[in-house]
Amino acid sequence: MAEINLKNETAEAEPIHIGFLLIENFTMLALAAAMEPLRMANQLAGKHLYSWSLIGASPEAVTASDGIRIMPDHTVNDSADYDIVFVVSGINVMENYQAQEVRWLRSLVGRVKTVGALCTGPYLLAKAGLLDGYTC
């Protein structure tokens, strides 16, 4: 008698690794609104579907618009692998970004599946040339 295995018993897939590039004066609400559903998905699934890292221009703490300082897990100079990267910024992004962050965003082309942005982050995607050829 033949058996058909309807369960997917292949090796468990690695979690999707998401990097959040924190720009000085970023909006904490945007970061929390993006991370919390990932955490809940992991909890409800009972396994790690998603993992994430906070990225800064340097190893120094990045200050959010509400004054909370967050230590990044990695910097733009590290060689960490990400499936998805989101830029998280806030008011006055034009005054708060660093050139090395824009260079790093450019370097992601072909290395990550998706690059996105939260709050005013699309400004930096445009600055990096990642929105060239796209229209609204």
In order, the DSSP letters of 22-61 are EPTTB-HHHHHHHHHHHHHHHHHHTS-SEEEEEEESSSS-
* CA 37 from centre of chain: 14
Model pLDDT, residue 135 = 83
Count Cβ atoms within 10 A of the Cβ of residue 88 and give its class: 0-12 exposed, 13-18 middle, 19 or more buried.
buried
Residue 2: pLDDT above 90? no
- Element (DSSP H or E) covering residue 101: helix 99-107
Q: How confident is the model at residue 11 (pLDDT cuts 50, 70, 90)?
A: low
Answer yes or no: pTM beyond 0.75.
yes
